[in-house]
């Protein structure tokens, strides 16, 4: 079962939204941070922070989402024999 995803110039829409959000966050934070670090260090720190945040979310939410999917699938399943 393939799922069609909305793409703009071959790039999935969710990655475009994530990139725009990341750039906005950098634009808000960098003016305060430029007194203590250069731009290249700030970009590396933001990339590392985004990676570790993503990893934490994936590791923490994967079991929860899998459990919810299994529970909802079982709750919504209708057997042919149960129909009146």
> What does the alpha-carbon distance between residue 43 and residue 71 come to, in Å, rounded to a whole number?
41
Specify whether the CB–CB gap between 49 and 55 falls below 8 A. Answer: no
Per-residue pLDDT tens over the stretch 16-61: 888 888 788 777 887 878 788 888 888 888 888 888 888 887 788 7
pLDDT tier for residue 1 given thresholds of 50, 70 and 90: very low
Tell me what pLDDT residue 82 has. Answer: 58
pLDDT tier for residue 81 given thresholds of 50, 70 and 90: low
Specify whether the CB–CB gap between 70 and 62 falls below 8 A. Answer: no
Say what the pTM is: 0.44
């Amino acid at each position: 079962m393939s799922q069609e995803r909305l793409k703009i110039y071959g790039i999935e829409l969710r990655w475009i939204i994530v990139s725009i959000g990341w750039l906005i966050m950098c634009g808000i934070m960098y003016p305060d941070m430029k007194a203590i670090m250069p731009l290249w260090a700030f970009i590396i720190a933001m990339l590392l922070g985004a990676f570790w945040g993503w990893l934490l979310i994936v590791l923490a939410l994967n079991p929860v989402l899998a459990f919810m999917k299994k529970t909802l699938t079982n709750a919504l399943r209708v057997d042919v024999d149960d129909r009146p």
